Amino acid sequence: MKENKSELDLKEMNQTVGGGSFGETANPVYCIHPSKRSMRRILAVVMVLTVLMLVSDAAAVMNPPYSTEPTSALWNLYDPDLHYWYQQLTEPEKRLFSARYDCIALGRAELWDYPCGRLTLANRERIDYALMMDCPELLYYPLYETADSRRYGRIQAPDEALCAQHAALLPGRLAECVAMLDEIRLQPEWGETDFEKEIAADRFLVRHCMYEPGIDITDTEQIRELDTDLWTAYGALVKGRAVCGGYASAMTLAMRCFGVPCLCTTGYYYSGDGSVFGHEWNIVQIDGEWTHEDVTFNDTDDEAYSEDFFAFTNLTSVEVFRCLSDDTFKAGMDLRNPYSMSDRNNYYVRKGQTLGADWQAEAVRRVQDAHDAGRHAIGFRMLDSAAFEEAVRMIDSEDMSVFAGVGFPVTVDYIREVRVLYISWE
């Protein structure tokens, strides 16, 4: 009987690979064809995907593309171009960003999931981060987080009553915040330069606001019972009580209203005892250069540090990440902080309060001059790492002989991560 072509091909293939006749080899090679059942499954999946695409396209037709900028007047409270994280979004992301911004600002709950194209969870994570970190004027966006998860992209849609309630509160409370900016302008440090505006805002928050300690952001029951204004610019500027997020939001709102680029960023703080805490601080642009500013860490709530303590004002990225780490989750969203390289705007460098290798005699002279001027403290940035380590050893051993000649007792402390020496007296 004559063999057909396909049977011969199979025999040859099998003999080549297995070494025996077709059907007898231990390792037969089969020519696999999709079964009818498999084909039906594939066709079903294709049909479902096609229907979903048609539904999405139909929704886009019924709901024309949302504006890439919010329509609420709040968006123009300051120059919209100062929204740093918003600028990193794609156009479809900006559209949902704008819809959600208006949802909160205008009390229109139906805008929360406005069709803005095919956005993935990763897209929504970027949108939520931008709304939470880049819009201090919204005040209450963080309240829409889920109770069991603080990850971005999983923030629940607000119910209509809550949305309307917050929209009704916003204008009055934001007006109170803006009115408090006049208090910043009255601070003795105020001036017309970016640096002077920054220092005046820092000092106002340190003098006016009290840090709320002991909050565990993983304890959802505790979070529910706390004053939600602690996380807002309103809490820091008006109520005078806040956590790091409130301090950073207030600083961002103030600096932007003063025309100075500023943003909130997040990360983790590694304490000396090995504990790790979520943290929020600012990156501000002074005279065209980005630099890290942490008002929360400057506000020690300790009278001994009430004067001239600017250890965490205007640090480079290398310096700030000696005690803080960037938010790896944020990095996973492809959102990047501006990089800070120069220490030119560091507070102590700019004020000329630096000490070099021969630090001891210079420190004594500067302390004496500050005392004679009626001051009660002075801070220094140590430029020489070996000299700083020498000062650390002296302080740790409680050896104050260096300052024996000043004629009054002094207390000397150091902040290792930023090489700051802080000297105070009665």
How far apart are the C-alpha atoms of 299 and 307, rounded to whole Å?
11
- Please report, for the chain, the start and end positions of each structural domain, with discontinuous segments joined by +: 1-30, 33-62, 73-350, 354-424
Residues composing the chain: 426
Which residues does 182 contact at the CB level (< 8 Å), separation at least 6? Answer: none
Alpha helices in 107-142 (DSSP H): 121-134
Residue 198 is predicted with a pLDDT of 98
Which residues, listed in sequence order, are joined to residue 315 by a DSSP beta bridge? 292
Are the beta carbons of 315 and 345 closer than 8 angstroms? no
Coil, strand or helix at 286: strand
How far apart are the C-alpha atoms of 156 and 138, rounded to whole Å?
16
Select from 366, 417, 425, 370 the least CA-distant residue to 392. Answer: 417
Which 8-state DSSP code applies to residue 345? T
Which residues does 19 contact at the CB level (< 8 Å), separation at least 6? Answer: 25
The secondary element (H helix, E strand) that includes residue 324 is strand 324-326
Which residues does 37 contact at the CB level (< 8 Å), separation at least 6? Answer: none
Residue 40 is predicted with a pLDDT of 72
Residue 226 is predicted with a pLDDT of 55
DSSP for 80-102, written as a single string: GGG-HHHHTS-HHHHHHHHHHHH
pTM (predicted TM-score): 0.81
How far apart are the C-alpha atoms of 228 and 336, rounded to whole Å?
28
Q: Tokens for 381?
A: 């940035």
Long-range contacts of 215-224 (CB under 8 A, 24+ apart): 215/243, 217/150, 217/278, 220/147, 220/148, 224/147
Residue 45 is predicted with a pLDDT of 66
How far apart are the C-alpha atoms of 210 and 402, rounded to whole Å?
35
Can you give the pLDDT of all 426 residues of the chain as single tens digits?
444 444 444 344 444 434 443 334 444 444 445 566 667 777 776 676 665 555 554 444 445 789 999 999 999 999 999 999 999 999 999 999 999 999 999 999 899 888 887 888 888 889 988 998 999 999 977 555 543 334 455 566 777 888 888 899 999 999 999 999 999 999 999 999 999 999 999 999 999 999 987 665 555 554 445 567 888 999 999 999 999 999 999 999 999 999 999 999 988 888 777 778 888 999 999 999 999 999 999 998 776 567 899 999 999 999 988 888 776 556 667 888 899 999 999 999 999 999 999 999 999 999 999 999 999 999 999 999 999 999 999 999 999 889 988 889 999 999 998 999 999 998
Which residues does 263 contact at the CB level (< 8 Å), separation at least 6? Answer: 84, 85, 133, 134, 252, 282, 283, 284, 338
Task: Please give the C-alpha separations between residue 26 and each of 19, 31, 198, in angstroms, as whole numbers.
Answer: 9, 16, 79
Task: Please give the C-alpha separations between residue 18 and each of 6, 9, 329, in angstroms, as whole numbers.
Answer: 18, 14, 52
